[in-house]
Amino acid sequence: MSTLVIIGTQWGDEGKGKVVHFLGKYADYVVRYQGGNNAGHTIIFEGKPFVLHLIPSGIVLPRKMCLIANGVVIDPESLYEEVELLKTKKINIKNRLFVSESAHIILPYHRYLDELREKSRIRIGTTRRGIGPAYADKVVRIGIRVCDFLDKEIFFSLLDNNLKEKDPLLKKLCAPKSIRQNIVRNYEKLKNFLKPLAVDTGILLEKAIRENKNVLFESAQGTLLDLDFGTYPYVTSSNPVAGGVCTGAGVGPTKIDEVIGIVKAYTTRVGGGPFPTELKGKTGEYLWERGLEYGATTGRPRRCGWFDSVIVRHSVRINGIERLALTKLDCLEGMDRLKICVAYKYKNKIIKEFPYSRHVQRDCKPVYIEMEGFKGNIHGMTKYSQLPLNARRYIEKLEELVNAKISIVSLGRTREETIIKDKYFPWIK
Q: Which residues are catalytic?
A: 13, 41
Taking alpha carbons only, the member of 22, 50, 16 closest to residue 35 is 16
Distance of CA 388 to the CA centre of its chain: 31
Q: What span, in angstroms and rounded, lies between the C-alpha atoms of 227 and 224?
A: 9
First to last CA, the chain: 13
Asked if residue 123 lies in contact with residue 232, where contact means CB atoms within 8 angstroms, the answer is no
Which CA distances in Å does 64 have to 26, 28, 92, 385? 10, 5, 11, 33
Give the other-Cβ count within 10 Å of 383's Cβ: 9
Q: Are strands 2-8 and 214-218 parallel, antiparallel or unpaired?
A: parallel
Asked if residue 69 lies in contact with residue 40, where contact means CB atoms within 8 angstroms, the answer is no
Identify the helix (H) or strand (E) that includes residue 371.
strand 365-372
Q: What span, in angstroms and rounded, lies between the C-alpha atoms of 299 and 127?
A: 10
DSSP, res 49:
E
Q: What span, in angstroms and rounded, lies between the C-alpha atoms of 360 and 26?
A: 43
Which CA distances in Å does 139 have to 104, 144, 187? 11, 11, 24
| CA atoms within 13 Å, Cβ hemisphere of 144 | 25
The two counts, helices (H) then strands (E), for the chain are 13, 20
Taking alpha carbons only, the member of 289, 329, 286, 323 closest to residue 307 is 329
Q: Hey, is 14 helix, strand or coil?
A: coil
> Which residues, other chains included, contact 379 with Cβ-Cβ below 8 Å and sequence gap of 6+?
330, 411, 412, 417
DSSP code string of 125-174: ---SSSHHHHHHHHHTT---BHHHHTSHHHHHHHHHHHHHHHHHHHTTTS
